[in-house]
Amino acid sequence: MSLPAKKAIEIDKNVTHYIYKMLNHEMILKYDESKCIECGFCHRVCPVTISIYDEPLKKTAIGTPEEMRVESDKKIVVDVEKCIWCGSCTWICPGYTLELIINGENKILLVENGSLPEFEEEVRTLENGQKVRKVVDGSITINCDEKDDKVIDAFADECATGAMSREGKEVVVDIDKCILCFKCTEASKNYENISVKVFRDRFKKVKGEPSSVWNAINLRVLGKEGKIKGIMSRSQNKLADSVMRLLGKEFSEEEEET
């Protein structure tokens, strides 16, 4: 096997390892589907973002099969040809679904070198016993004009953390369970008479003075970033380039062409 090598290995029905192996260095992005709540945070923070011919849809190195435009029965897939194993998705993942393992150790270099901050988090336990964390503060508003109780119930069931329920003809949110993720806003696109607005005001209290990479990710999560146009490859992605510099890596021309 020639090095460096990038590959995906299914460990079992739930766990997939996305591996980047070099001569004396191995990085594994571990994805455990059994913990995935389909929150959408990983897709937003991934620094590898491209826009195909100015289409509104942005494609990253990680996302749902629909977002990645591939066929898969997995909730989330990773494109190993685009992933830079920076750990941004691991850093924010509310369900502890993703882990970055570098030479056998769980670590995120962007946190260790101060580029991404540590932050306060609220850990909640779901009814199934799974732990999730809330990493942003804000609020949520749901407008429901639906008359069919079954449709309202179906929408409430879309919630990643069981925070939504139906009361009469309204959808109510238990703020103690809501983590202000992206799942209900995405689901509402399939419900003609239900709309959702989530206001992510700020991350929980951050520690340290993070870099410009943090500023960019902060804007993406809070939904204030402008439309990213004309990014056709990793080398033209300013955020990804910044992350690579902070990680102390350089890609050869040969790797850029893969």
In tens, the pLDDT along 48-66 reads: 865 544 554 456 899 999 8
Does one domain contain both 148 and 187? Answer: yes
| Top-confidence residue, 162 or 245 | 162
pLDDT for 83 beyond 80: yes
Owning domain of residue 71: 5-120+205-256
Average pLDDT in the chain: 83
Mean pLDDT over residues 168-181, rounded?
A: 93
pLDDT for 256 beyond 80: no
Q: What is the pLDDT of residues 118-168, one digit of tens each?
A: 888 889 898 889 999 998 999 999 999 999 999 999 999 999 899 999 999
pLDDT for 93 beyond 60: yes
| Cα separation, 78 vs 20, whole angstroms | 12
CATH for 141: 3.30.70
Does one domain contain both 140 and 106? Answer: no
Does one domain contain both 189 and 245? Answer: no
Tokens of 106: 């769980």
Kindly indicate the confidence band of residue 225, based on its pLDDT and cuts at 50, 70 and 90. Answer: very low
Q: What is the pLDDT of residues 107-119, one digit of tens each?
A: 998 888 888 888 8
Does one domain contain both 225 and 115? Answer: yes
> What is the number of domains present in the chain?
2
